[in-house]
A and B are shown apart, each in its own frame.
Chain A
Amino acid sequence: MRSAKHFLLLLSWLIIFLPASVLHAGVNDSLNQKQFFSAAQQREVRNYIRPCLYMNLYATGSRPMKSMNSIPSQMLTSRLGNYKFITSNIGFYCPLYTHTSIDKNDSSNLNTFHLLMTMNGLLDQPRFSGLDQQHKLYKIGMGLRAIYGFGSKFILFVDASPYVVGDKYDKQQTQQFKFASAAVFNWMINPSFSVRGGITKTFLFGNRNYLPMLGFRIGKLDSKFYFNIQFPRVISFNFQPTPKFSFSIYSKSYGGLYNISNGDSLYPFGDKIIQFGQTGLSNGVRFDFRPSPNFSFFVAGGFAVREHVWLYSHSFNQQNHARPIANFFDGQPAPSLFVNFGIACRFGSAKKSSGNYLMYDIMDLNNTMDPGDNNSGPGNGDIRKASKEEEMKKVQYKDVVDLIDDTDLY
């Protein structure tokens, strides 16, 4: 776990400084001769998606569990006691390559291709009041995703998220490689309505599942209201009264599948490691604040319901590589209140995307399908609410002082 900490810290620093220095290289150039005598030196920003680093923390209250399984399972429920869980994660995505091209069949269409690197680190702490030593589960991953927006209506999204899970309790035994992925096709029928379909390999439901992804959105992403259903991840009704503030009523799934040490003999048949799966639904309200284009944060709260805690025998499921794995314990914690808050920082510059609704859909897909299969993304802080012409009256000198050139005045 110590090396995991070091890795996370190193990653964080790399993440912070690389984009800041690389992406601002074109902004604060020194006045050297070579640069100034070449008209070809103009640096045009290529990426539409800005590098983003986000963190969040999610916690539930402590509550009793019940088990519907056999008598041994109910005995284990008594032994485990009350359950609460706290999870914190840090994620990052950064465009590696962006290409904009003109559609061969229709020169009025721009196609965009985005290749992004993703990183994620998560610490999941299920806390059972009956255990002397708690398990601290971690997940560290780095992946790639490709997004292709073509024509003025279609997006193809492919994400590959390999990661390592483990238990701090016994890191040597419990570390294991896992792989989550998703492929989604998005059809923006018009700016107010888009549909999505695809398939995902996910561990979000505390097991290994291959699930269809189906969803639709009603309402423009930059309008005051929009409604979003993206099965199996989120259902949300979003309000954006101002560009700096929005809130949503939502229901989203969370969870994961981890290896944990059997050092405390939760499974009585001598396995050194077992698997721990958890899942649930968070139903709540989320308030998003966006003080600047580079920084946003949110606070959310509500009820965590329909939770399950599963334990699986590793040896029993070892030969089972494709199907959902079979549990020996199914605990159902009572509903609880939860709190969730997080921050997101976006760095560098990006190409303009105002009024480009296909690009908004690309950004929404990228933010909804967060790195690492955790369903805790940074939110749509990169999509600004549309302005009205009447708001021009509120323009201040400081808003345009850098934009109007003296040559604009004659």
Chain B
Amino acid sequence: MNKILLIISFIFAFLANGVSAQAGHPPKGKADTTKNSLGAERVQALKVAFITKQLNLTSDEAEKFWPIYNDYQDKRDAVRKQLQRDYRKVREQADQLSADELQKLADEEVALKVQDAALVSEMNSKLKNILPPKKLAQLYVAEEDFKKELIRILTEDNTNPK
């Protein structure tokens, strides 16, 4: 019995690594924002640290803020993933698709961007009950600053591959 358990354990280990690798390396041009790679997880943790510091959230504010903000990010990730799929479709098959299909794709891309904006609006409405106006305004600045900070660090570090 112990031998069987041992064998299964190795299988699990390989499979788990396989799933991890699958999630961590999506095909070129296909962003997978729901993946569980260590890199994505780390950036998410850094974003939490960055926003918490920039907004100086109190304990009560943080308790209510993060569930709502995470929920928004999950929904936005789903929209962005669909958008990336559409972009990929156009990149790879623009010559093979009919004008009608391309028009539908373009319409969908716009619809998704509108949906993306609607999600921000929905989150903003919920956060109004949690954060004072100053912190709410600072949230959007913090999001932008986080992105810029990441890009700055990456472009300044010459040891990283371009």
Partner-B contacts on A (CB < 8 A)? 1, 5, 8-9, 12, 16, 20, 24, 26-29, 31, 33, 35-39, 41-45, 50, 53, 55, 57, 86, 88, 90, 100, 106-110, 123, 136, 152-153, 190-191, 243, 292-295, 343, 345-359, 384-389, 391-393, 395-405, 408-409
B138 within 8 A of A: no
Residue numbers in B under 8 Å from A351 (CB-CB): 70-71, 74
Nearest-neighbor residue (CB-CB) of B37 within chain A: A293
Beta-carbon contact of A350 and B115 below 8 Å: no
B120 within 8 A of A: no
Beta-carbon contact of B62 and A399 below 8 Å: no
Residue numbers in B under 8 Å from A28 (CB-CB): 22
Nearest-neighbor residue (CB-CB) of A89 within chain B: B5
Nearest-neighbor residue (CB-CB) of B88 within chain A: A31
**For the complex, what is the distance from the CA of A355 to the CA of B77, rounded to whole Å?**
18
Beta-carbon contact of B81 and A350 below 8 Å: no
B53 within 8 A of A: yes
Beta-carbon contact of A293 and B36 below 8 Å: yes
B48 within 8 A of A: yes
Nearest-neighbor residue (CB-CB) of B85 within chain A: A36
Interface string of B4-22 (1 = CB under 8 A from A): 1100110111011101101
**For the complex, what is the distance from the CA of A395 to the CA of B108, rounded to whole Å?**
34
Closest Cβ–Cβ distance, residue A58 to chain B (whole Å):
12
**For the complex, what is the distance from the CA of A57 to the CA of B8, rounded to whole Å?**
13
**For the complex, what is the distance from the CA of A31 to the CA of B27, rounded to whole Å?**
13
Beta-carbon contact of A354 and B78 below 8 Å: no
Closest Cβ–Cβ distance, residue B62 to chain A (whole Å):
6
Interface string of B115-134 (1 = CB under 8 A from A): 10000000000110110000
Contact among B40, B85, B161 for A397, CB-based, below 8 A? B161
Beta-carbon contact of B8 and A12 below 8 Å: yes
Beta-carbon contact of B44 and A44 below 8 Å: no
Beta-carbon contact of B126 and A27 below 8 Å: no
Residue numbers in B under 8 Å from A350 (CB-CB): 36
Beta-carbon contact of B49 and A386 below 8 Å: yes
Residue numbers in A under 8 Å from B23 (CB-CB): 24, 27, 294, 349
Contact among A8, A292, A393, A401 for B38, CB-based, below 8 A? A292
Closest Cβ–Cβ distance, residue A59 to chain B (whole Å):
10
Residue numbers in A under 8 Å from B4 (CB-CB): 5, 8-9
Beta-carbon contact of A36 and B89 below 8 Å: yes
Contact among A292, A355, A387 for B70, CB-based, below 8 A? A355
Closest Cβ–Cβ distance, residue B39 to chain A (whole Å):
4
B136 within 8 A of A: no
**Which of A42, A153, A386 gathers most chain B CB within 10 Å?**
A42
**For the complex, what is the distance from the CA of A349 to the CA of B73, rounded to whole Å?**
14
Beta-carbon contact of A27 and B32 below 8 Å: yes
Beta-carbon contact of B26 and A402 below 8 Å: yes
Known: A36-B105, A39-B82, A292-B38. A88 touches B154 (CB 8 A): no
Residue numbers in B under 8 Å from A353 (CB-CB): 70
Closest Cβ–Cβ distance, residue A338 to chain B (whole Å):
16
Known: A37-B104, A90-B5, A343-B9. A354 touches B45 (CB 8 A): yes
Contact among A347, A392, A402 for B31, CB-based, below 8 A? A402
Residue numbers in A under 8 Å from B150 (CB-CB): 392, 395, 400, 404
Residue numbers in B under 8 Å from A1 (CB-CB): 1
Residue numbers in A under 8 Å from B69 (CB-CB): 355
Residue numbers in B under 8 Å from A359 (CB-CB): 67
Beta-carbon contact of A387 and B161 below 8 Å: no
Beta-carbon contact of B46 and A389 below 8 Å: yes
Contact among B12, B36, B65 for A349, CB-based, below 8 A? B36
**For the complex, what is the distance from the CA of A214 to the CA of B126, rounded to whole Å?**
35
Give 3 nearest A-B pairs by CB, closest first. A355-B66, A399-B39, A345-B16
Beta-carbon contact of B74 and A352 below 8 Å: yes
Closest Cβ–Cβ distance, residue A99 to chain B (whole Å):
13
**For the complex, what is the distance from the CA of A399 to the CA of B149, rounded to whole Å?**
14
Beta-carbon contact of B48 and A294 below 8 Å: no
Known: A191-B59, A355-B48, A388-B49. A39 touches B70 (CB 8 A): no
**For the complex, what is the distance from the CA of A317 to the CA of B93, rounded to whole Å?**
74
Closest Cβ–Cβ distance, residue A231 to chain B (whole Å):
26
Closest Cβ–Cβ distance, residue B117 to chain A (whole Å):
13
B139 within 8 A of A: no
Beta-carbon contact of B59 and A190 below 8 Å: yes
**For the complex, what is the distance from the CA of A408 to the CA of B33, rounded to whole Å?**
14
Residue numbers in A under 8 Å from B79 (CB-CB): 42
Interface string of B80-99 (1 = CB under 8 A from A): 11101110110011000000
Beta-carbon contact of A405 and B8 below 8 Å: no
Contact among B31, B67, B108, B149 for A356, CB-based, below 8 A? B67
